[in-house]
Amino acid sequence: MVVDTLPPLPAWLLIGIGVGTLATGGVVALFYFGDRLLPAGADAAAAGASIDGDARRRTEIRSYLSAIDERFREDHSVDGDPVDFYLPDREVAITFDAQQFFRLERAGIAAVLCEHELPGRGLGDRLPFDTPETESASESARGRAGGGFGTEGAFGTADKPGANPVAAAFAELELPRSTDEDAVKRAYRERVKDVHPDQGGDEEAFRRVREAYATATEYCRRADGGAEPPEPRSAADRSRGAAATARARRARRERRASRKRR
């Protein structure tokens, strides 16, 4: 029986098959490793940007506190809760976290909320004591128009330079400006139910509501104490209002301490 045999394949065909196989494998490997490596690189870049922003903000606050000769400590524990900055001579905590700010306020500790958008030089308008004018703050004040507590970021950050953060805060909570603090709290609880990320809300909307609550609450407290005039205030007026707020906070702490001793 004669067995027919196939002729051997041409060399050029074998070479073409080999080259095609290698090229296909290279493309598959490129997509595989690219899919695994590029997202990690993007996440690292985003994390790096966040770290850089936080470091820049800390640097600005350090520079401002040093410029006004105010002693400070970083990551200092206050009432068992580490805060970003603490002023030991004034017993004032500075925090970047709105929830921590509310905890400190409830504990009767003088606290200042510093949002991501607030420049370091804007901190002076929020501190509950007299602060000297720095050169950078004076230049900023000369170039700024309108606004809120007399400054763009006075306890609440406006979306536009010169916008009134108090009016924006009450608008965010859907309340008139004449509302008292209890009504602000009720409105905040209702709004948080709609915008909280755990309830399917948006993180940006949640942040706006928290900052609006902080701004509106501070406005109501100052209005109740007669320290908040309806028009933008001068630097001297802001200092007197901040001093009155600090005295009220110290009085509250002393009353709490007195009740505990009893």
pLDDT digits (tens, 9 = 90+) for 174-216: 888 888 888 888 888 888 888 877 777 788 888 888 888 888 8
Residues 6+ apart with CB under 8 A from 260: none
Sheet bearing 73-78, strands edge to edge: 73-78, 81-87, 92-95, 110-113
Regarding pTM above 0.75, the answer is no
The reported pLDDT for the residue numbered 229 is: 39
Largest CA distance in the chain: 118
Which residue numbers in the chain have pLDDT < 50? Answer: 1-2, 41-42, 44-47, 49, 137, 140-163, 227-239
Amino acid 86: pLDDT = 93
Closest CA to 252 of 111, 92, 109, 104: 109
- CB atoms near residue 86 (< 10 Å): 22
Q: CA angle, corner 112, sides to 188 and 201, nearest 5?
A: 30
The matching CATH number, chosen from 3.40.1350, 3.40.960, 3.30.530, 1.25.40, for 51-143 is 3.40.960
**C-alpha separations of 66 from 56, 96, 191 in Å:** 15, 19, 39
- State residue 260's pLDDT score: 65
What pLDDT is attached to residue 235?
40
